[in-house]
Amino acid sequence: MMELELRRLRNDRTEVYTRAVQPVLWLAVFGLVFSEIHAIPTNGIPYIDYITPGVMLQSVLFVAVLYGLTLVWERDTGILKKLLVAPASRYAIVIGRSMSSGVRAIIQVLIVIPVALLLGVSFIPNPAYFVVALAILFVISGGFAALSIIVASLLKTRERFMGIGQALILPLFFASNALYPIALMPHALQVVAVFNPLTYAVDAVRGLMITGNLALLPLDVAVIALFDILMFAAASLSFRKIIE
């Protein structure tokens, strides 16, 4: 399934570039402006460095949450029916599909990185950290894609899906530590952020790529793994419904 995504992207790269526009704008406009005004306390690191992991996660989140759209399209064609009739377990299909959104997500991240470097973001020059960070991005993408599959299974049509898709992305993104520390938020939003898996992914990637603070890394990984397992299980159960 991941190979499928790579082969599709090889034949049409435009999508990769159009999707890269938004994160690049976040970094180049939002990041640079807020770096100048020093409005947000970031423990001494430049603001643009601070939000780079957040913007990467946002890219991942977009790709993953909208991955359900692919499934809705495949539902309209006969592909999903054929997959469900294939002699492969449904868990394998769901996990394969979820993870293949990770392939797309990682490609987006790899585009954001050189842009960030150009804008003067300083990464920790440790290849091992870098690889672990990418792995975390890949895995969390799978979880969000599975969430997207659940939504697609329940809603079934493109129009309904678009409405919910956007409504999922924005709160997940803003109610997390992607753009500002949780401590700055109002209490209610802090509660949401604590239950938001994106928070943990941002923390892990920020630690690995920018700050080098890995104190919470085991917790982050555990939360992300738990989130993925729950989402995969729920998506496998709901997947059948999509064709009915």
Partner 1 sequence: MTFAIDAKGLEKVYKGNVAALAGVDLEVKAGDIFALLGPNGAGKTTLMRILTTQFKPTSGEAHIFGLDVVREGGEVRKVIGYVPQETSVWSDINGYENLLIYAKIYGLPSRSRKEVIYDMLESMGLRAAAEQLVKTYSGGMIRKLEIACAMLIRPKILFLDEPTLGLDPAARIAVWKKLASLKMEFGTTVFFSTHYMEEANAYSDEVAIINMGKMVTSGTAEELKHSLRGELIKVSVSDHHVDEHTLGLIRGLKQVNSVVVTDATLIVTVEDAETALPGVMDVLRSAEIPVVRIATTKPTLDDVFLRYAGTTRAPGAASTTERVEEEAGGDHRE
The binder of partner 1 chosen from 82, 117, 163, 170 (CB under 8 A): 82
The site for partner 1, by CB under 8 A, has a size of 25
Which DSSP string corresponds to 164-187? HHHHHHHHHHHTSTTSS-GGGS-H
* Residue choice 56, 61, 93, 168 for contact with partner 1 (CB under 8 A): 93
Contact 155, 242 (CB under 8 A): no
Q: Decide: is 160 part of the binding site for partner 1 (CB under 8 A).
A: no
**Backbone conformation region of residue 44, classed left if phi is above 0, alpha if psi is from -120 to 50, else beta:** left
Contacts of 212 (CB under 8 A, 6+ apart): 124, 129
17 belongs to the binding site for partner 1 (CB under 8 A): no
Q: Is residue 81 involved in binding partner 1 (CB under 8 A)?
A: yes
Handedness of CA 63, 69, 75, 78 (dihedral sign): negative
Q: Are 140 and 227 spatial neighbours (Cβ–Cβ below 8 Å)?
A: yes
Is residue 3 a contact residue for partner 1 (CB under 8 A)? yes
Q: Residue 243 interacts with partner 1 (CB under 8 A)? A: yes
Task: Indicate whether 13 belongs to the interface with partner 1 (CB under 8 A).
Answer: no
Q: Which stretch binds partner 1 (CB under 8 A): 73-81, 150-158, 171-179, 206-214?
A: 73-81
157 binds partner 1 (CB under 8 A): no
| Interface with partner 1, residue 8, by CB under 8 A | yes
The answer to whether 79 contacts partner 1 (rule: CB under 8 A) is yes
Q: How many CB atoms lie within 10 A of CB 53?
A: 30
| Residues at the contact surface with partner 1, assessed by CB under 8 A | 1, 3-4, 7-8, 11-12, 76-79, 81-89, 93, 96, 240, 243-244
